[in-house]
Amino acid sequence: MRAHLTRRYMFSASHRLHSDQFSEEENRLTYGKCNNPFGHGHNYMIEITVSGFVDDQTGMVCNLVDLDGVVQDKILERYDHQNLNLMPEFKNTVPTTENLCIAIYEIVSRGFHEAHLDKVRIEETMMNSFEYAGEDL
Amino acid sequence: MVFLTRKAEFSASHYYHNPAFTTEENRRIFGKCNNPNGHGHNYTLEVTVKGVVDPKSGFVVDLKELKDIMNREVLDALDHRFLNKEVPEFATKIPTTENLAIAIWQRLAPKLRAAQLHRVRVYETPDLFVDVYGDTNGPDAEAQGAV
């Protein structure tokens, strides 16, 4: 039977929502407080969901240690206690949680091949969350 | 179609070990979970059923009946047990969260009459959970040794 395994991680980072394609006034109207030029931060909660058939030798969809290793090296080391606006992936893309979801999905998708990556879900705060499951769904 | 989820909690111990692996392989693959004396978790189970709302009762399913089935088929068998030694499914299968979710699905699915089982979710810890939807089809089923 196919099983879908979800693992939660946390990191903290700062960002500022600002688009070069908007005027100063449009940026303020669109992003409100998030447009504060000094930035602000969040504790991001990341959920990575992978799936596959359960291997009858190990009882696992994938080895959790390997998933943790990839997320630690490629996501947490990269983003924890950083300013997202300074990352290359957000040079020309606004670091909204939508775009962060897509960036993390693409990094995990490139780095982890033991199971199918179903989706990335991020809670920016307890009040809002975002999911990205790739474009083929 | 309406989906209804009922939660339950149980505590159990387990360890991971495959007799086909060497001692060294067991240690490498399963790490701390290979300790033969076992270790335990407080598991949270979420059972989601789906169905159309009965026009007379306003229910998808009688919650009392669902709770009784979950208690009888799952919690009585798993709560405060050593999964490897006391639960028949794990005499031959490793009691990972994946296999636990599958075993719970297989215990519940045939017993539900009014509503259809949609999803079984098992939290081993707050930061690790497994979902199963009863999906046994797929091109990789055989190759990956599908359960």
Active-site residue among A4, A40, A81, A113? Answer: A81
Q: What is the pLDDT of residue A25?
A: 97
Beta carbons of A6 and B16 less than 8 Å apart? no
Residue in chain A nearest B142 by alpha carbon:
A53
Beta carbons of A5 and B21 less than 8 Å apart? no
Q: How far apart are CA B61 and CA A59, in angstroms?
A: 32
Q: Is B17 a catalytic residue?
A: no
Which residues are within 8 A (CB) of A61 and not within 5 positions of it... i.e. 6 or more apart?
Answer: A3, A4, A5, A50, A51, A52, A53, A54, A55, A115, B98, B130
Helix (H, G, I), strand (E, B) or coil at A116: strand
* B42 within 8 A of B13, measured Cβ to Cβ: no
User: Chain A residues contacting B, CB < 8 Å?
Assistant: 1-9, 49, 52-61, 63-65
pLDDT digits (tens, 9 = 90+) for A41-79: 999 999 999 999 999 999 999 999 999 999 999 999 999
* A48 within 8 A of A132, measured Cβ to Cβ: no
Q: How far apart are CA A79 and CA A77, in angstroms?
A: 6
pTM: 0.91
Q: Is A62 a catalytic residue?
A: no
DSSP state of A54: P
Nearest to B135 among A2, A55, A65 (CB): A2
Q: What is the pLDDT of residue B138?
A: 55
Q: What is the pLDDT of residue A5?
A: 98
Task: Give me the mean pLDDT over the B15-34 stretch.
Answer: 95
Beta carbons of B136 and A2 less than 8 Å apart? yes
DSSP state of A55: P
Q: Is the ipTM of this complex over 0.90?
A: no
